[in-house]
Amino acid sequence: MISKLDIKQSLVAGLLAGITSAVINAILFFIFHGAGVITDTIYPQPDKPMTIAPVIMASIVPSIIGSLVFFLFEKFTNNGYKIFSIVAIVLMVLSLFSPFTVIPGVTMGYSLVLCVMHIVVPLTLLYFIRRAKQTKGMKTSTTL
């Protein structure tokens, strides 16, 4: 029997992933900002240096949206996790190009740090969704 997550379980996984990835990315931000890799002289947004607020939002919001997308794959397909994993990894790889191409005057170090932050979010989301599915599978098998 295939155990599928309901909307609540998917959202909880997304929220946990968002909070966890926000904490990880905030730590990375402060470490690399303190080390001078992320500088206030490079502007990812027009006339605005990188701050912690967009880092946190860019970790939480995509995780919650991703968990909703996962729920839709889970609901309407037989291989929701597999399909979602493929889509998430493809989008993650595509997102790795943006720090190099979108930010004017960006340094290699700055771009690489942003790439690491881009990797944290989808991998954390995949981890929490998988964990939720395993937990649900264990509960389902014990109740049979």
- Summarize the chain as % helix, strand, coil (round to 5): 75, 0, 25
Using one digit for the tens of pLDDT, what is the confidence trace for 7-52?
Answer: 999 999 999 999 999 999 999 999 999 999 999 988 887 888 999 9
Closest CA to 120 of 102, 95, 98, 100: 95
User: In the block, which residue shows the tokens 């998917």?
Assistant: 10
Structure confidence at residue 45 (pLDDT): 79
- Cα–Cα distance between 35 and 30 in angstroms, integer? 8
Q: Is residue 140 part of a domain?
A: no
Q: Is residue 78 part of a domain?
A: yes
For helices 108-143 and 52-76, the axis angle rounded to 10 degrees is 40
Q: Is residue 29 part of a domain?
A: yes
pTM score of the predicted model: 0.90
| Model confidence at 143: pLDDT above 60 | no
Q: Is residue 2 part of a domain?
A: no
Structure confidence at residue 129 (pLDDT): 97
More confident residue, 99 or 137: 99
Q: Is residue 11 part of a domain?
A: yes
Give the chain's domain count: 1
Range of the structural domain that residue 57 is part of: 7-134
Q: Is residue 102 part of a domain?
A: yes
